[in-house]
Structure 1
Amino acid sequence: MADHGHELLFGTFLTPVAARADRVVALAQLTEQAGLDLVTVQDHPYQARFLDTWTLLSVVAARTSTVRVSPNVANLPLRPPAVLARSVATLDVLSGGRVELGLGAGAFWDGIAALGGPRLTAAEGVDALEEGIGIIRALWAEGGASVRIDGRHHRVHGAHPGPAPAHDVGIWVGAYKRRMLGLTGRLAGGWLPSSAYAAPETLAAMNAAIDEAALAAGRSPADVRRLYNVSGTFTGSGGAFLQGPADVWVEQLAELTLEEGMSAYILASDDPDDIRRFAAEVVPGVRELVEAERALRDPSAADRPGTAGAADRPGTLGVVTSTGGDAGGAGNPGSAVPALGVTPTPDDGVRLAGVRVWDESTRPTGPAPDPDRTYTPREQASGRHLVDVHDHLRQELAEVRRLVEQVTGGSMDPGAARSHINTMTMRQNNWTVGTYCESYCRVVTTHHTIEDQSLFPGLRRADSRLVPVIDRLEQEHHAIHEVLEGVDRALVAFVSGPDGRAALRSAVDLLSDTLLSHLSYEERELVEPLARLGIL
């Protein structure tokens, strides 16, 4: 099967554990902060230890602003299609067009029957799903005639269509067997299998069944997006699917896009470190490889939506650039280099706290860039990804400030805020040993990786003129760690002292000053060397 050229999407597949409800929402927010596109949640209403999926997705949509949300997949036997249609449309309107509908025929019939749902055979489940899709689409056609569908399993008699969703909601069907694959090809906007049940080597035959059904129904196979729930580990030798370092993931997922037409990868993991690594190390590499191969196969592909760069993709954080003033602040006179294709984020000089963690005037600078030097797209990507990941941290900082405002305003418990902050990238990083960029700023491709070396030692070896800069950055990493510890201590102390509110706000102001200053300095000094030296 050929690549259909669909826009690549990446997301998470979360477990709605009721006992850790705050953490589930925090992982959904982390999905957005990391720059991923989708938050999806499994739907098993008969599972007593799970939150209700639709209620959870509504909360997630309210607490995020860019990611799409979807059940993965909705259990149609326990969600009447007429009601589900209006629930989806309503949340799509309220979220600004950020809802998709993963849909399944149902399974675990004992559990479904225990909640009063029907007990269907596999064949009946497929028939019921087909009827349900017809009802859902008819009720989304606002302004149309009254809906009258007299099916064997679902009946609607004179229902008025509406409301209409805010955008063309995708109906993504979870399917594995022949009849379900045929239904997917005839009716669905997407196919959503899981690697645990549909291994990569089985995808070709399943895709062929979908394509055959689509063509027989007068559709193009490209009308059906191919999504894939995936799971794996970043350890291992790479001998099995997604069992190895990030470059193994990149190569295997890119191959599935280019050879099997898969275009969306949804990580089934509740581990925040896995989500961060997937977003920071795997996603950029897959995008790069796929875009490069598409450009070779069809030079016009670079202009299509599926090959948009990070700055152009809706729902992700792009590169922060500046067209005026000193992009890098005082110091390196060559910090803004047009040929790099990215401008280091400027330090605006605003300081909120009354104390300083370090003396910025003593920061060393690296060598000035060669004004005649040009950089290949691969070299430009190094600095671009550094800024992208820094943007994620800047967004996290804004989230910390929002959480603290809720704590000091009495609408959030300090313990809940601490729990949320502890899932963030900035809190998980081991700043004290300078491994931030090692873990989160790699540009992973099949051509090179830095699995066995950290960024800073590599820069030291490659250009001795950078040694003072690297030493200073590592010193600042120690300081950032201490400032973050100060925020945590202030959250704990907030409940026990009369001056807790002021101390907490001061701690967050100091975090803002140190983190934003440091990120700008690091970009100013490292964007050009990363491109020139090829360390990433």
Structure 2
Amino acid sequence: MSDYGHPLTFGSFLTPGNADPLRPVGLAMLSEQVGLDLVTFQDHPYQPAFLDTWTLLSFVAARTERVRLSANVTNLPLRPPAVLARSVASLDLLSGGRMELGLGAGAFWDAIEAMGGRRLTPGQGVRALEEAIEIIRQIWDVEARGGVRVEGEFHRAVGAKRGPAPAHDMGIWLGAYKPRMLSLTGRRADGWLPSLAYLQPGDLARGNAIIDEAAADAGRSPADVRRLLNVNGRFAATGRGPLHGPAEQWAEELADLALTAGISTFILASDDPDDLRRFAAEVAPATRELVAAERAAPSTSPATSQDPTPTGQTSAATGQTGTATGPSGRTGGTRGSTAPAGGAARVAAAPLAVVPTPDDGVRRSDVRVWDEAARPTGPTPDPERAYTAHEQAGAQHLIDVHDGLRAELAQIHDLIEQVAAGLIDVGTARSHINTMTMRQNKWTLGTYCESYCRVVTTHHTIEDRSLFPHLRRADPRLKPVIDRLEEEHHAIHDVLEGVDRALVAFVASPDGMAELRAAVNLLTDTLLSHLAYEERELIEPIARLGAH
């Protein structure tokens, strides 16, 4: 197996349940807020407990701005390919080029047949899928002359007008497991999208081999086919099996899948907001760092490509057993270490290039929670000090986490305006706000530590691995700044409680919208002011001292 060198991306695989129709929407918005790259939904049109996936994708596209979207995977037997091609291209245009197309040949044939679909054998399903791909690509190819012409055994489109073209070069990803589907993936698709739960030991290696051979026979490079994987597991304090343990164990196992099985997109199947947060804030950055370090390392002997599973456990990816090793084959040491030994020495140091987001000074509220002029400042940075890329990445993560909070703040403003317009009720708004990172964090240990420290340290208690005690110990000159930041964290928690109280009061008071907007304005003032102050004072110390 091999590493195809694709950049790593991370996503969510959500259930489109209709019992609480806004819950999957909220989870999709949360996926974007915490920094995931992709949101996907199951597509089972025969399931009455589910929302229609393509209607849901359209709604989610309108409620998000950055994250890419896809069905995982589209049920082709109930989606005519010519209509599907125009639907997904239209949504890609409307969303600014954020759609991808996952396709499946079909399953659950009794249910498909009950909905009016045609029952197909496995071989017929593969041939029907290949015909559909041809129709879809011809619909999108607006530069070709003449109409679409596919006279297939299962799908026909003869003389159909071409267009619209998607806004970007959209990928077609196939959910494939058997040899004929895998061969089709290599010949015609842009991605392979299986689920780890359905794979047996060795299936990834066998699947890659079939795809690579088919791609080569079709005159393509194997790297033309991105390898994606739906994963599921459980977070726990200690390792109990593959993808069942702390975030750093997840990172090591996913890094191994990237480096030895070529997987470059990991999609977490979970509807738990906490799982999505940990996957985005802890697993994703640590996995990226492990893979980047390994790709940058000098070539090593074949013995270094070992499975990171603890002794006696079997990896679902390779079917091998082994000692507790990382992607580099390093045995022992602290799990969760995110760089190989000596890695920093290979990276040239440079001046600190991480720039804090400045406070624009705009204040929307007349209330002042604290005296900004009384904030202490830390030691002046050494202008001659240089920082490695690894050190700068730690500092940049603080801004990345804060940007997620800033995005959540914009979502709160949007929710309040929807309440004011009568588009959603107060209960729905409160439910959305309560899933946000800023609400869950409680502002007691600091947002940076909550999302990052568990990645880079595993041998301390929660208190010891929090960022602030470490910085106090490492540089006592920072104590006044740290004390002040902790005070502000508690104040922000109280301001958030004020927003919740104002939402509740709005139900009973016809003029409560003024108080609700005032509470949100106060939250905006305090949060943006605090984030800018924290970045200004902590970016350089984090780069210089690390987070553990």
- 1:179 aligned to 2:180? yes
Aligned match of 1:68: 68
Q: Which residue of 2 aligns with 1:204?
A: 205
Q: Which amino acid in 2 is paired with 1:258?
A: L
Distance (whole Å) between structure 2 residues aligned to residue 110 and residue 449 of structure 1: 52
Whether contact under 8 Å (1:104, 1:129) holds in the other structure is yes
Cα distance, 1:59 vs structure 2 = 0.7
Deviation by residue 1:175-229 (Cα, 9 ceiling, x = unmatched): 1111111111111110001111125753112111111111122211111110111
Q: Deviations over 1:307-366 (max 9, x none)?
A: xxxxxxxxxxxxxxxxxxxxxxxxxxxxxxx82221222222221111111122222222
Q: What is the one-letter code of the residue matched to 1:186?
A: R
Q: Quick check: 2:401–2:448 contact (8 Å CA) kept in 1?
A: no
Change (3 A) 1:214 1:450: farther
Q: Which amino acid aligns with 2:108?
A: F
Q: 1:29: Cα distance to partner?
A: 1.0
Inter-partner Cα distance in structure 1 for 2:399 and 2:56: 32
* 1:154 shift after superposition: 1.4
2:367 alignment partner, one of 330, 350, 355: 355
Aligned ranges for residues 6-405 of structure 1 at < 5 Å?
Answer: 6-143=6-143, 144-198=145-199, 201-235=202-236, 237-238=238-239, 240-296=241-297, 339-405=351-417
Partner of 2:320: none
Once structures 1 and 2 are overlaid, which stretch shifts more, 289-298 or 95-104? 289-298
User: What is the SS of the residue equivalent to 1:148?
Assistant: strand
* 8 A contact 1:285–1:443 mirrored in 2: no
Partner of 1:311: none
User: Structure 1 stretch 29-38 or stretch 455-464: which is displaced more?
Assistant: 455-464
Report the secondary structure of 1:349's partner residue. Answer: coil
> Structure 2: 5+ residue runs without aligned partners?
300-349
Q: CA deviation at 1:257?
A: 1.6
Q: C-alpha displacement at 1:461, in angstroms?
A: 2.4
* CA-CA distance at 1:117 after TM superposition: 0.8
Q: What is the distance in 2 between the residues matched to 1:34 and 1:13?
A: 15
Pair 266,207 (structure 1): closer, same or farther in 2 beyond 3 Å: same
**Cα deviation, residue 54, structure 1:** 0.5
Shift of 1:74: 0.3
Q: Name stretches of at least 5 consecutive residues in structure 1 with no aligned partner.
A: 299-337
SS of 1:196's partner is: helix
Task: Please give the alpha-carbon distance, in whole angstroms, between the structure 2 residues aligned to 1:176 and 1:477.
Answer: 49
Aligned-pair CA distance for 1:43? 0.5
Please give the alpha-carbon distance, in whole angstroms, between the structure 2 residues aligned to 1:89 and 1:297.
Answer: 43
Whole-Å separation in 2 of the counterparts to 1:254 and 1:498 = 55
Alpha-carbon distance, 1:448 to partner: 7.3
Contact (CA 8 Å) 1:385, 1:443: kept in 2 or not? no
Secondary structure of the structure 1 residue equivalent to 2:385: coil
- Aligned residue for 2:310? none
Could you tell me whether the CA contact under 8 Å between 2:247 and 2:454 is conserved in 1? no
Give the direction of change, closer, same or farther, for the CA distance of 1:51–1:137 in structure 2 (3 Å limit): same
C-alpha distance 131-414 of structure 1, shift in aligned 2 (>3 A): same
Structure 2 equivalent of residue 529 of structure 1: 541
Task: Give 1:392 deviation, angstroms.
Answer: 0.6
Query: Relative to structure 1, is the Cα distance of residues 10 and 393 closer, same or farther in structure 2, using a 3 angstrom cutoff?
Result: same
2:538 counterpart of 1:518: no
Give SS of 1:19's match.
Answer: coil
Shift of 1:79: 0.7
Aligned to 2:419: 407
SS state at 1:2 partner: coil
3-state SS of the aligned residue for 1:227? strand
> The residue matched to 2:297 in structure 1 has which SS?
helix
- Residue matched to 1:314: none
Aligned residue type for 1:125: G
Aligned pair partner of 1:437 in 435, 440, 448: 448
C-alpha distance in 1 between matches for 2:298 and 2:161? 48
1:109 offset after TM fit, Å?
0.7
Kept after mapping to 1: 8 A contact 2:376/2:480: yes
CA contact 2:446–2:489 (8 Å) conserved in 1:
no
The TM-score with structure 2 as length reference comes to: 0.86
Cα separation, 2, equivalents of 1:5 and 1:194: 21
- 1:418 aligned counterpart, secondary structure: helix
Q: Is the 8 A contact 1:442 1:450 kept in 2?
A: no
Q: What amino acid does structure 2 have at the position aligned with 1:70?
A: S
| Counterpart Cα distance in 1 of 2:87 and 2:170 | 12
SS at match of 1:165: coil
- Mapping of residues 431-470 of structure 1, within 5 Å: 431=443, 433-442=444-453, 444=455, 452=462, 453-470=465-482
Q: What residue identity is the alignment partner of 2:53?
A: T
Q: Does 1:508 align with 2:537?
A: no
Q: Distance in 1 between matches of 2:499 and 2:154?
A: 56
Q: Distance in 1 between matches of 2:272 and 2:388?
A: 35
Q: Residues of 1 paired with 2:230 and 2:178: CA distance?
A: 17
- The residue aligned with 2:331 is none
Shift of 1:48: 0.7
Higher relative contact order (CA 8 A, sep 6+): 1
Aligned 8 A contact 1:284 1:443 in 2: no
CA 1:519 to 1:435, structure 2 compared with 1: closer, same or farther past 3 Å?
A: closer
Pair 1:63–1:203, CA change in 2 (3 A): same
**3-state DSSP of counterpart to 2:197:** coil
- How many Å separate the matches in 2 of 1:407 and 1:49? 27
CA-CA distance at 1:7 after TM superposition: 2.4
Q: In the alignment, which residue of structure 1 is the partner of 2:306?
A: none
Give me the whole-angstrom Cα distance separating, in 1, the residues matched to 2:278 and 2:200. Answer: 22
- CA deviations on 1:467-514 (whole Å, 9 max, x unpaired) are 222222221111111110111111111122143111011101100111
**Partner Cα distance (1:450, 1:225) in 2:** 38
Match of 2:338 in 1: none
In structure 2, relative to structure 1, the CA distance for the partners of 1:450 and 1:61 (3 Å cut) is farther
From the superposition, tell whether residues 200 and 529 of structure 1 become closer, same or farther in structure 2 (CA, over 3 Å): farther
- SS at structure 1 position matched to 2:20: helix
- Displacement of 1:287: 2.0
Preserved contact between residue 396 and residue 424 of structure 1 (Cα < 8 Å): yes
Distance 1:200 1:40, change over 3 A: farther
Does structure 2 conserve the Cα–Cα contact (< 8 Å) formed by 1:491 and 1:504? yes
User: In the comparison of the two structures, how many residue pairs are matched?
Assistant: 495
Contact 1:147 1:160 in 2 (8 A): yes
The equivalent residue for 2:490 is: 478
Cα separation, partners in 2 of 1:385 and 1:33, compared to 1, 3 Å = same
Contact 1:277-1:439 at 8 Å conserved across structures? no
The answer to which of 410-419 and 104-113 deviates more is: 410-419
Query: Measured at CA, do residues 198 and 450 of structure 1 come closer, stay the same or move farther in structure 2, by a change above 3 Å?
Result: farther
